[in-house]
Chain A
Amino acid sequence: MTTSMSRREFVKTGALASGLVLAVQLPAWARSGLGTLARAGATLSPGAFLQITSDGAVTVWLTNSEMGQGIHTIFPMIVAEELGISVSAIRLEQATADPRFGVQYTAGSSSVRRLWAPLRTTAAQAREMLVGAAARTWGVPAGECRIESGSVVHAASRRSASYGELVPVAAALEVPAQPTLKEPASFTVLGKPTHRVDVPGKVDGSARFGLDVRLPGMLYACVARCPVFGRNVSDYEDAGARAIPGVRDIVPLEAGEFVTEEWWLHRLPGAVAVVAETTWAAMEGCRALSCRWEGGLESELDSEKLARMFKDRAALAGTVGRYQGDAETALQGSARVFEAAYEAPFQAHATMEPMNCTADVRAGRCDVYVPTQYPTGVQQVAEYLTGLPSDAVTVHTTLMGGGFGRRSEMHWVIDSIRVSRAIHRPVQVVWTREHDIQHDNYRPASYHALRAGIDGAGRIMAWTHRVVAPSVVAWHSPSMLATAPDQVADEALDGAADLAYAIPNVRVDYCPITTPVPLGWWRSVYASQNCFANESFMDELAREVGRDAYELRRDLLADSPRHRRVLELAAEQAGWGRALPDGHGRGIAVHRLFSDSVVAEVAEVSVENGAVRVHRVVCAVDCGLALNPDTIAAQVEGGVAYALTAALKGRITLEGGRVKQSNFNDYPMLRMKEMPKVEVHVVASSDPPHGMGEPGVPPLAPAVANAVFQATGTRLRSMPLALA
């Protein structure tokens, strides 16, 4: 299973899924057999997520990672709804990595999608068992009992019992396989804006992030590795480092590689760790190390060479991801062919909390404390590196200062386990900002060649889109390029192949390209650039055929009611078509993300002296059931800010085989005065929740580029968007 596969819920497995739970399957705990194990003693636990004890305490285990998207609040909201209690009545515990919970990962806007049914089911099972226990105890039909504020009540006989009192009897009952779930129309908790449970700790400094973990006897470490990709340390001079007060040890980390989960290749470039009593001493020690490097590929690699490589590769066909009608013939027969090429650069994740992991490896035990999006993956890596059995390895997930896909990676986990093993002490490895920016797993750069065939009546009859980009999934599992080219193409063509516009002849293909640049899943993944290409091109076609950018899209989405609905809502709320002052413009874009949420955005910009200012972004969202409307609005606001930074501010470039940028002085971030006013309108829907962590991102860049065109008549086809 790859993180990207789970996002897409593909069931074509290839080599990837052996022994692992796919997103579409319920985790093992949901099978009622496991419920029997939990019945001993005074504990009601029809599934691993939930436990009610005879003292009335209701505990929910948080199996997913809170990175600000509000998942730690959604869990108790779902349980509270089915149990008829309040969110504040629920005790929350962060789960460790545990196979009882199935595969634990928080990525792909998938937490609520995957856990919606299992969490509701478990809570409803508990409710029915408690009601059944009361009915049995009182000798009355269960249908005459109702739940009220943590008790079961039988109105006719004026009897009631608290959940705690009923637990011993309830726990002995059979777990109902198909409990009745509440209808959305009767929700009293879900669907209402709800305060986040993690916010109070985040306003007084008490919230514990990974970097805040403190263990008795713990030391700190920084790692020196060569910024030229693939180079190893050949030798080093550490007298300078050892002379730094507080430095305790120097630990060489030999080059190597290993595989976990039968697909994930972990490359270990040779490096050196400096261990010290404080983080500062470790950083100073690292700076004082003198290292020589060897090996590696392409120290001549630079961004210009890469851009030429990508463009050249577009001349040759790729793996086809969508083939409908006969695009080649249709193009040849067109009255007019319009073509354009778009480019997107590498981007870093730039989470606020730098990468870190605390490992405590000792004889027969290993504890890892880490802000991670993938605890199950950390468990596998820790077991591999220590050789310890599962029950001797515990992974503790902390809060994290931003994820965005960055914290699915394992490099700092590997660093900290290796150093802890070497020094026989708990150690917290901290990556400096420079190390983080220069050793990211980047959002891939890409080149997009699009062509459209237009007939004599101005109708778009054909659309081809060739995406040239390195593959994120193949970076993690190189053999996939040969063994699973279709899956590789599916990931890279996300958002490009599933074009919603009603165009009769469509061909979308993908040309993989291999570079030494490490790649990763960056908020919305390939949709972040495929949507930029699609929605910029659609805008250019509208101009080409003399149609309004909004109205042409609306017509071509006649068969896609969800897309149409959000498009219309965004346009209406933004006042599409109303006059704007000179130098101002509006742009529109719509996209359905792999999580099945559909988002349309209208950006309003002004351009002055070549500088683009985004004033307002109006967003319309169809995300199925909106479980916590305030969180949904926050995720869209955040997605817009994240996308705007990438659209306007900086990019990652390469020179001499290494990343040029290193900190926020040369890789600038969006600041408060650059933040537009963001308005979020959510369409009412009774579909299951679709996941909103990422969908706010893809439409933003093209909406802004389209607005810049409306304001200036200049079409920008590469990011960051800059007028010369």
Chain B
Amino acid sequence: MSAVSLFINGRRHTVVAEPTMPLLWVLRDVVGLTGTKFVCGIAQCGACTVHLDGVAVRSCSVALSAAAGKRVTTIEGLAPARSHALQRAWIELDVPQCGYCQSGQLMSAAALLARSAHPTDAEIDEAMGGNICRCGTYQRIRAAIHRAAGEA
């Protein structure tokens, strides 16, 4: 085990854990931020998506050592008090059902809007294709992304 320094949601954390521990578990079990979710562990489903230096990554497949010294943004740090345009759109359209995939969906969608302010349906399909939703909220996710993009 070693001490690693990370910046998470704007705050510096010194984490003592195995350098091979995936960032997902560092966040959930060591730092105590449980908004980022575990589903598949092999980067197939997107539920664990966080931003690493502004880029969307699957935290189940990023080792702690690879995140050392970098800026991590989790769902808890996306915006204060649900103020992100996507969060507001998600609430307005009642996007989530069970809600378990939605942290990952929002983080992927936020990364998309950060690089493409008014994405087309095809761009949305591409950017969001790595995020599975078993409750079938895809139609509403797409509508909410358009709605949030419309506000920009």
Contacts and interface: CB of A to CB of B under 8 A. Distances in A.
Interface of A: 67-70, 195-196, 198-209, 211-212, 214, 220, 245-246, 277-281, 283, 350-354, 399-404, 430, 432-433, 630, 634, 637-642, 645, 663-665, 669-673, 675, 677-678
Given A206-B76, A664-B132, 10 more contacts: A68-B97, A198-B99, A352-B100, A353-B37, A401-B37, A401-B98, A430-B38, A638-B137, A640-B136, A641-B138
A250 to B, nearest CB: 19
23 contacts: A200-B82, A200-B91, A203-B96, A204-B78, A205-B103, A207-B99, A220-B29, A246-B18, A280-B21, A280-B29, A352-B98, A352-B133, A354-B38, A402-B134, A433-B42, A630-B94, A638-B136, A639-B136, A640-B136, A663-B40, A663-B41, A670-B132, A672-B133
B22 to A, nearest CB: 6
A627 to B, nearest CB: 15
Contact of A196 (B32, B94, B131): B94
B36 A205 contact: yes
A680 B136 CA distance: 14
Contacts of B41: 283, 432-433, 663
A641 B29 contact: no
Nearest to A437: B40
Contacts of A280: 18, 21-22, 25, 29
B57 interface: no
A402 B45 CA distance: 15
B8 interface: no
Provide the main secondary structure of the chain A interface. loop
Among B39, B44, B47, residue most surrounded by chain A Cβ atoms (within 10 Å): B39
B87 A209 contact: no
Interface in B111-152: 124-126, 128-129, 131-142
B6 interface: no
Contact of B134 (A208, A637, A669): A669
Contacts, number: 185
A246 B95 CA distance: 38
Nearest to A638: B136
A198 B45 CA distance: 23
Say which size band chain B's interface belongs to: 35 or more
B132 A199 contact: no
A671 B90 CA distance: 19
B94 to A, nearest CB: 5
Contacts of B96: 68, 196, 198-199, 202-203
A440 to B, nearest CB: 14
Nearest to B75: A205
A203 B94 contact: no
Nearest to A679: B139
Given A204-B76, A205-B35, A672-B142, A68 B129 contact: no
Nearest to B28: A279
Interface string B43-87: 011010000000000000000000000000011101000100001
A672 B95 CA distance: 14
Contacts of B90: 199, 203
Contacts of B99: 68, 198-199, 201-203, 207, 399, 401
Contacts of A206: 35, 76
